[in-house]
């Protein structure tokens, strides 16, 4: 099964991002029997447990369930971090906030200092130094805005963000980031790097803050001002986009009790008009990344704003001059005085972390009590989620492996388990395979020095990663709409949207690459360069690599989260080794490689292990968590 086929060579191109996949259309074209699917997914109607603290066994099965739902890609290293911990200790560890940090210059091979200065008119930061606070001093010369978008720095931010997810400690921070990004998404406009970092910073911290304050800052975030048109709203014709979405999607929701009116949307638009940010001026040319936000009182509607009975007939008095900015605070306070904010957010937490399908039963025993917890915790999403993750409901066995993984979870779980960034470079040269690692140092002459650099490897690896997840249906900063990805909210299909004939093919292509020829890093001298998992490191990470059965069982446990039936185990062994294989031959091959890691021994063992992974990745269990 191991192949010498030359793999594809695609990258995500931030200059020419492709439109997001239309998962809804693609799913509908598959002509799925929805009745049969829906009948099989009514499991939550049978769960009668509550938010009461879980008091049952907290072993590997429970820990894996907890980790699969809270990490961006479960890997066995996370399970090791929970070894010996109680449920309370494990949840507290997972819910610990870790600082975001800043991206650094890992693009210096893409745009060297001389080229940077010629392009922007000022010196770049040194390699490995942070850049988000740096100004573009030469940007105004010639008004060449297209050259000022900083694609190399945007690429560095994306690679830093995705590398942070890959290297994450056993912490929920990045999973909450994806949750909140989907709840309050924006698009990546052709804009300066500071705007991207500012929005990432806001979302990353948002789940650990008072959500009311988060919504205030979200309203004035440059990306959101641009995305939902507040930047261009005029007092004569106030734009209603953000005024509608901040209610319908970000706070009170639209079902089943949220009854805000069109009049409320119109009144909100009048409250909000007048705010903007100078994206291309002071934001770009000043030091620091914090956005420069302005309230233009001359562009503010100073009339009184009357809201409906849903908001207790609140009247926000119109104000003149700078006092007009106070109306935003009043508007947000009014929204958070409703019961629906906590109920809506509790629903979204439940659907993302527990199970996407809501029932009346779950509404009564989980959602409403959880909303009370949220109010008591001052609308802090992380503190609210702690209660859910420690509840007896969360550990109902019916919920284990019941959600289809999204692209980030699917892809990063495999990359992390293979420890791919510690891997080796591989290519063809004159129809010969070349592999650069500690064993074959003579092959280093076939690789450009830049690719031996860790920074450049991260930069290139996550360009390849972005192309992969985009083909699976998701890419941060490129959502299909202001509602986010339908897999997280749209009934009755929900997470089934992730799987169709196109995305399944993309998932298979990724696992084939990860297990065989590696992730594409670029082309040099006509040869495609790939990053493959390090064979020596990989086999030594197993408890008993010399026992074939024990090795395959641990392999399936790592990638599938549990054992497979004995028949499937035998079938996989027979397909890779033949039905007359001898268990001792496996141990001999492993030890032969250990004692003499020659190319021949290396390739023989790697091909067998890659074939085992290839077959395991074809099992349906790889897609659920």
Read off the pLDDT of residues 208-266 as tens digits, 9 standing for 90 and up: 999 999 999 999 999 899 999 999 999 999 999 999 999 999 999 987 778 899 999 99
| pLDDT band with cut points at 50, 70 and 90 for residue 3 | very low
| pLDDT band with cut points at 50, 70 and 90 for residue 146 | very low
Q: Check whether the bond before 71 is cis (ω within 30° of 0).
A: no
pTM: 0.93
Which range, 5-9, 12-16, 408-412, 420-424, has the best average confidence (pLDDT)?
Answer: 408-412
For residue 181, give the nearest of 339, 72, 66 by alpha carbon: 72
pLDDT at 144 over 60: no
Q: How far apart are CA 491 and CA 507, in angstroms?
A: 24
């963000």: which residue's tokens? 161
pLDDT (average), residues 487-491: 92
Please give the pLDDT value at position 300. 96
Please give the pLDDT value at position 573. 86
Chain centre distance of CA 560: 20
Q: Check whether the bond before 494 is cis (ω within 30° of 0).
A: no
**Are 520 and 530 spatial neighbours (Cβ–Cβ below 8 Å)?**
yes
Nearest-10 Cα torsion for 587, 589, 590, 591? 80
Percent of the chain with pLDDT over 70: 90
pLDDT (average), residues 387-410: 96
pLDDT (average), residues 322-329: 97
Q: Cα angle at 52 between 50 and 57, to 5 degrees? A: 100
Please give the pLDDT value at position 445. 54
**Residues 120-143 as b or e (16 or more Cβ within 10 Å = b):** beeebbebeeebbebbbebbeeee
Tokens of 368: 């409403």
Please give the pLDDT value at position 1. 56
pLDDT at 19 over 60: yes
Q: Cα angle at 310 between 304 and 312, to 5 degrees? A: 60
- Please indicate whether residue 71 or residue 449 has the higher confidence score (pLDDT): 71
Q: How far apart are CA 130 and CA 108, in angstroms?
A: 12
CB count within 10 Å of CB 256 equals 10
């395979």: which residue's tokens? 433
Q: How far apart are CA 493 and CA 486, in angstroms?
A: 8
Q: Is 113 left (phi over 0), alpha (psi -120 to 50) or beta?
A: alpha
Q: How far apart are CA 62 and CA 46, in angstroms?
A: 19
Q: How far apart are CA 474 and CA 468, in angstroms?
A: 9
Q: Write the burial class of residue 199 (CB in 10 Å: 0-12 exposed, 13-18 middle, 19+ buried).
A: buried
Tokens of 354: 């527990």
Q: How far apart are CA 184 and CA 414, in angstroms?
A: 28
pLDDT at 346 over 90: yes
Please give the pLDDT value at position 139. 47
**Are 494 and 34 spatial neighbours (Cβ–Cβ below 8 Å)?**
no
Please give the pLDDT value at position 149. 60
Q: Which secondary structure element, helix H or strand E, spans residue 344, and what is its range?
A: helix 340-353
Average pLDDT, the chain: 88
**Are 170 and 93 spatial neighbours (Cβ–Cβ below 8 Å)?**
yes
Tokens of 526: 């006509």
pLDDT (average), residues 2-28: 66
**Are 509 and 472 spatial neighbours (Cβ–Cβ below 8 Å)?**
no
Please give the pLDDT value at position 285. 76
Please give the pLDDT value at position 430. 44
Which sign, positive or negative, has the C-alpha torsion 415, 417, 419, 424?
Answer: negative
Q: How far apart are CA 426 and CA 435, in angstroms?
A: 4
pLDDT (average), residues 436-463: 70
Tokens of 318: 């119109």
**Residues 165-193 as b or e (16 or more Cβ within 10 Å = b):** bbebebbbbbbbbbbbbbbbbbebeebbb
Q: Which DSSP state fits 20?
A: P
**Are 527 and 517 spatial neighbours (Cβ–Cβ below 8 Å)?**
no
Please give the pLDDT value at position 138. 54
Read off the pLDDT of residues 549-607 as tens digits, 9 standing for 90 and up: 899 999 999 999 888 888 888 888 888 888 777 778 899 999 999 999 888 898 899 99
Q: How far apart are CA 619 and CA 625, in angstroms?
A: 13
Lowest-confidence region among 152-161, 497-506, 517-526, 557-566: 517-526
Listing DSSP states for 581-604 in one string gives --HHHHHHHHHHHHH---HHHHHH
Q: How far apart are CA 503 and CA 433, in angstroms?
A: 30
Q: How far apart are CA 513 and CA 510, in angstroms?
A: 5
pLDDT (average), residues 437-453: 60
pLDDT (average), residues 120-145: 74
Please give the pLDDT value at position 109. 86
Q: Is 131 left (phi over 0), alpha (psi -120 to 50) or beta?
A: alpha
Please give the pLDDT value at position 45. 58
Q: How far apart are CA 529 and CA 256, in angstroms?
A: 53
pLDDT at 275 over 90: yes
For residue 564, give the nearest of 625, 624, 623, 621 by alpha carbon: 621
| pLDDT band with cut points at 50, 70 and 90 for residue 433 | low
**Cα diameter, the chain:** 87
CB count within 10 Å of CB 232 equals 11
Please give the pLDDT value at position 6. 46
Q: Which DSSP state fits 363?
A: I
Nearest-10 Cα torsion for 399, 405, 406, 408? 120
Tokens of 218: 């979200």
DSSP, collapsed to helix, strand or coil, labels residue 434 as strand
Please give the pLDDT value at position 432. 55
pLDDT at 439 over 90: no
Read off the pLDDT of residues 164-186 as tens digits, 9 standing for 90 and up: 999 999 999 999 999 999 999 99
| pLDDT band with cut points at 50, 70 and 90 for residue 384 | very high
Read off the pLDDT of residues 102-114 as tens digits, 9 standing for 90 and up: 999 998 988 899 9
- The phi, psi pair for 53, rounded to 5°, reads -55, 140
For residue 107, the cross-strand partners are none
Tokens of 220: 């004035």
Please give the pLDDT value at position 368. 96
* H helix count then E strand count, the chain: 27, 8
pLDDT (average), residues 148-156: 78
Q: Which DSSP state fits 366?
A: I
pLDDT at 331 over 60: yes
Read off the pLDDT of residues 78-110 as tens digits, 9 standing for 90 and up: 999 999 999 999 999 999 999 999 999 998 988
Lowest-confidence region among 115-124, 332-341, 398-407: 115-124
């Amino acid at each position: 099964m191991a192949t010498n086929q030359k793999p594809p060579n695609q990258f995500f191109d931030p200059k020419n991002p492709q439109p997001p996949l239309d998962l809804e259309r693609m799913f509908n074209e598959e002509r799925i029997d929805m009745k049969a699917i829906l009948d099989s997914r009514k499991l939550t109607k049978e769960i009668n447990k509550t938010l009461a603290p879980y008091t049952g066994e907290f072993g590997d099965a429970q820990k894996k369930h907890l980790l699969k739902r809270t990490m961006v890609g479960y890997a066995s290293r996370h399970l090791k971090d929970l070894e010996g911990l109680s449920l309370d200790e494990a949840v507290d560890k997972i819910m610990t906030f870790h600082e975001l940090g800043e991206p650094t210059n890992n693009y210096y091979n893409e745009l060297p200092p001389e080229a940077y200065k010629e392009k922007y008119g000022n010196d770049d930061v040194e390699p490995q130094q942070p850049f988000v606070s740096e100004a573009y001093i030469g940007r105004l010369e010639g008004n060449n805005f297209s050259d000022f978008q900083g694609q190399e720095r945007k690429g560095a931010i994306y690679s830093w963000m995705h590398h942070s997810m890959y290297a994450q400690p056993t912490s929920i921070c990045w999973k909450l980031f994806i949750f909140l990004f989907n709840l309050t998404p924006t698009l990546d406009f052709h804009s300066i790097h500071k705007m991207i970092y500012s929005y990432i910073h806001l979302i990353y911290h948002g789940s650990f803050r008072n959500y009311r304050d988060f919504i205030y800052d979200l309203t004035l975030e440059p990306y959101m001002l641009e995305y939902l048109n507040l930047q261009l709203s005029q007092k004569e014709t106030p734009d209603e986009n953000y005024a509608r979405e901040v209610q319908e999607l970000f706070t009170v929701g639209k079902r089943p009790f949220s009854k805000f009116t069109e009049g409320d949307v119109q009144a909100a638009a009048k409250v909000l008009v007048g705010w903007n940010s100078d994206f291309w001026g002071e934001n770009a040319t000043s030091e620091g990344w914090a956005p420069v936000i302005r309230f233009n009182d001359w562009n503010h509607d100073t009339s009184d704003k009357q809201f409906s009975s849903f908001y207790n007939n609140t009247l926000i008095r119109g104000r003149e001059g700078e006092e007009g900015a106070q109306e935003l605070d009043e508007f947000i306070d009014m929204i958070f005085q409703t019961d629906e904010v906590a109920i809506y957010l509790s629903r979204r937490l439940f659907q993302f972390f527990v199970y996407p399908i809501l029932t009346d039963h779950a509404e009564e025993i989980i959602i409403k009590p959880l909303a009370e917890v949220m109010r008591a915790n001052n609308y802090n999403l992380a503190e609210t989620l702690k209660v859910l993750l420690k509840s007896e409901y969360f550990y109902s066995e019916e919920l284990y492996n019941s959600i289809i993984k999204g692209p980030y979870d699917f892809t990063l779980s495999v990359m992390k388990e293979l420890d791919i960034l510690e891997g080796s470079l591989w290519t063809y040269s004159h129809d010969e395979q070349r592999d650069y690692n500690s064993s074959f140092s003579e092959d280093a002459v076939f690789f450009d020095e830049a690719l031996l650099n860790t920074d450049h490897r991260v930069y290139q690896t996550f360009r390849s990663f972005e192309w992969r997840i985009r083909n699976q249906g998701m890419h941060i900063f490129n959502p299909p709409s202001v509602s986010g990805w339908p897999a997280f909210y749209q009934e009755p299909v929900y997470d089934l949207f992730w799987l169709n004939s196109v995305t399944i093919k993309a998932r298979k292509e990724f696992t084939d690459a990860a297990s065989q020829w590696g992730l594409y890093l670029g082309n040099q001298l006509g040869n495609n360069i790939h990053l493959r998992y390090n064979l020596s490191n990989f086999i030594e990470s197993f408890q008993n690599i010399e026992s074939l059965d024990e090795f395959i069982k641990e392999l399936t446990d790592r990638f599938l989260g549990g054992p497979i039936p004995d028949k499937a185990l035998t079938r996989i062994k027979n397909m890779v080794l033949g039905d007359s294989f001898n268990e001792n031959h496996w141990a001999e091959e492993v030890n032969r490689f250990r004692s003499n890691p020659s190319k021949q021994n290396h390739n023989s063992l790697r091909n067998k292990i890659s074939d085992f992974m290839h077959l395991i990745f074809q099992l349906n269990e790889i897609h659920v968590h």
